[in-house]
A and B are shown apart, each in its own frame.
Chain A
Amino acid sequence: MEQSIRYTPFFLLCGVLIVSLIVGLLSRRSDRGGYGVQVRSIGHASIGAAIASNWMSAASFLGIAGVFFLNGYFAFAYILGWTGGYVLLLVLMGSQIRRFGKYTAPDFVEARYDSSVARVFSAVIAIVISLIYCVAQYKGIGMVFAWMFGIDYTQALVFGTLITFVYLVVAGGLKAARNPQMHYLVLIISFVVPLMLIAKKLGYNWLVPQFSYGRALRDLPEQVSNAYLFPWTFGSPYEWIALCFTLMVGTAGLPHVLSRFYTVPNNRDARWGVVWGLFFIGLLYWSAPAFGAFARTWLTNSGTILTPADSQALADIIVIKTAEWVGLNEIFVSVLAIGGILAAISTITGLLVTGAGAISYDIYYRLINPKATESHLLLVAKGATLALALLVLVIAVNPPGLIAQITAVAFALAGNTLFPVFLLGIWWDRANKYGAIAGMMVGTIITFAPILLGNLIPTLRTILPPTSSALVGAPVVILTMIIVSRLTPPPPERLRRFLVEKVHSP
């Protein structure tokens, strides 16, 4: 498709990676004294920026615009699912889980359900969630690198993974502390500023492209315009609601989102941080559909016709393509590409660390070799990171869908397993380990049945679309947990007393 290498984004990328390493090194040196000590006086906005930067992955940066470009109104199911989920998280369990005082999903599950089997189950689920989530990020990296070097996707994927991994090892070896506020600022600026310039080039209000893309949609030929504006062109109401609901409960059950509640000194600050976090995430999601709309505007204006297959292939880098098509300065096109890569790399880093931690501690140490020394565990963790990274690479060679769709499967798994386990663990004292284990098993089956058996039993995919299985799945799992818990002995009294006195007291 593309032949020549694009030098501007490449050099800019090298520059950004080197600068971030240097900044990491310097900041490490300057706060050596207070390493690991939480600063009390961080403002709510800064906590919010940290939440948003933790959240912004390739799915937000590249994926959403692609879905809007292909599916119009249907993309709002993603946008609302990935924002409304925070309401669910905050309202139903943010404070309670924090008062519970366990920092990872497996820790919580073991402490609440008093069972190491349940712990292993939840650890495996957390690892699989990380894996699926990572596949989507890798796809983003592969697509952007393919565009940058004019090589094919698989080569770009291997090359991109290599660069990511080298960066990860070097940054990890230096313990380069990432500054989340700065990271958010860089990402949002590199997303919104090029968008404003695109709007200007196309002759729409450039100050608020988040509004003017509506005008752009209306200006399209009637048939195209209607397809974008009409809610049910690209998906049925059931599909829309199921997807939106799945992403919401998935957000509330996602381990790495939840752990953000702990990196803040107190409960109240964490709650108020969410308000800001939502606003910062909103800034990105208000803007993302505009890329899709302006891409369509340019295609129409220039008389370019894309086949459905071409559109599908370009959707995940439509953000970058739009900038290139309308003739933005190369620098701004590069900025978008690098923003996408940075969002993906930072997410991969977080996920691989979580995944490797679960393997080395929750599975290896707790299950296989309880006598392992710390340095031995570190070795296992490093090996696990490498193994996970390779496994993700193998899956990502044939990506099963769009970035946003792959990510949604990870949310479906979280919504079908960890969400019910957290929810009942907090709001029902009677939920016990048998219920939790049965629930997680049923949830896993519900998530993967439509993917594995969908070709044999097509109705399965209609009722449980792989990206949206939690609308049916989460209630079924909750019901399973309730029935199984009722049929088996209640959890020990000390646990229930802990719930009453610690978790549910002001």
Chain B
Amino acid sequence: MSQTNEQEPPSRDDLRINFFRPRAGFMRKEVTIIWITLAAWAIMTFGMPIHLALTHSDPTRTLAEVPYIFGIPAYFWFSGQFLILWFIFLCFIFNVLIDWLSSSYRRRR
């Protein structure tokens, strides 16, 4: 859909910057990467408490029913340990993608 736009860089007089309507070319790709990372960040961080809030309201029943991992409830391990790893992973992937994007644009210039 944006193929035609990408061929022609925005004119020098167009100074608009808007996260929701990124400029064609580098910025549009960058914003796509940002959106993907942010989605992966938000869903994992806030998805779990929302899920827990919706499904688990009774302490004794909850702890009897939820799956366990490493001897503790899986959600507990997820929040206490896994998510930090996930954040590190997200930063890693983001950096790889941005490195790739900026080097490909630098070559083009």
Contact = CB atoms under 8 A, between A and B. Distances in A.
A226 B63 CA distance: 7
A217 B72 contact: yes
Interface residues of A, number: 55
Nearest to A88: B41
A467 interface: no
A88 B92 CA distance: 13
A84 B92 CA distance: 13
A95 B76 CA distance: 34
Contacts of B106: 506
Interface residues of B, number: 51
Contacts of A79: 80, 84
A73 B76 contact: yes
Interface stretch (A11-19, A228-236, A437-445): A228-236
A218 interface: yes
A200 B109 CA distance: 60
A32 interface: no
A271 B98 contact: yes
Contacts of B77: 214
A427 B31 CA distance: 10
Nearest to A429: B17
A268 B101 CA distance: 12
A452 B34 CA distance: 38
Given A84-B41, A90-B94, A429-B17, A237 B84 contact: no
Nearest to A496: B15
B5 interface: no
A227 B63 CA distance: 10
Interface in A270-291: 271-272, 274-275, 278-279, 282, 285-286, 289
Interface in A80-108: 80, 83-84, 86-88, 90-92, 95
B83 A275 contact: no
A84 B27 CA distance: 24
A487 B81 CA distance: 46
Contacts of B84: 79-80, 83, 278, 282, 285-286
Contacts of B38: 88, 91-92
Contacts of A496: 15, 17
A194 to B, nearest CB: 20
Contacts of A233: 59
Residue from B27, B62, B76, B109 whose CB has the most chain A CB atoms within 10 Å:
B76
